[in-house]
């Protein structure tokens, strides 16, 4: 049995916390999930599971996209608003 020094437990807690935050419509869920993705990626490298590495790097990029696209709308001020 391989010991990941608690990194697997941290990744799990981050992932569940992120899902909870996203369920509550908190944008911070994306940031927490990105941290979890990096933990899972490290575990994948450690375990020589390249599928896990690629999957979590892909998930990381999707979470970056979600964080950017879920940004609060800004109100434009200008002549068209009058």
pLDDT in tens, 2-41: 689 999 999 999 999 999 999 999 999 999 999 999 999 9
pLDDT tens digits, one per residue of 51-63: 999 999 999 999 9
- How many other C-beta atoms can be found within 10 angstroms of the C-beta atom of residue 75? 6
Distance CA 15, CA 10 (A): 9
User: How deeply is 40 buried, as exposed, middle or buried, from its count of CB atoms within 10 A (0-12, 13-18, 19+)?
Assistant: buried
Which sequence spans correspond to the domains of the chain? 1-28+43-49+61-70
Distance CA 37, CA 29 (A): 12
End-to-end, the C-alpha distance of the chain in Å comes to 67
Tell me the H-state helices in the chain: 7-23, 28-46, 50-69
Categorize the per-residue pLDDT at 1 as very low, low, confident or very high, splitting at 50, 70 and 90: low
Categorize the per-residue pLDDT at 75 as very low, low, confident or very high, splitting at 50, 70 and 90: low
């Amino acid at each position: 049995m391989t010991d990941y020094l608690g990194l697997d437990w941290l990744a799990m807690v981050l992932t569940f916390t992120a899902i909870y935050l996203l369920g509550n419509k908190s944008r911070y869920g994306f940031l927490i999930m990105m941290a979890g993705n990096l933990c899972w990626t490290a575990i994948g490298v450690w375990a020589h599971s390249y599928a896990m590495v690629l999957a979590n790097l892909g998930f990381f990029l999707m979470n970056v996209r979600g964080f950017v696209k879920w940004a609060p709308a800004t109100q434009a001020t200008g002549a068209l608003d009058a």
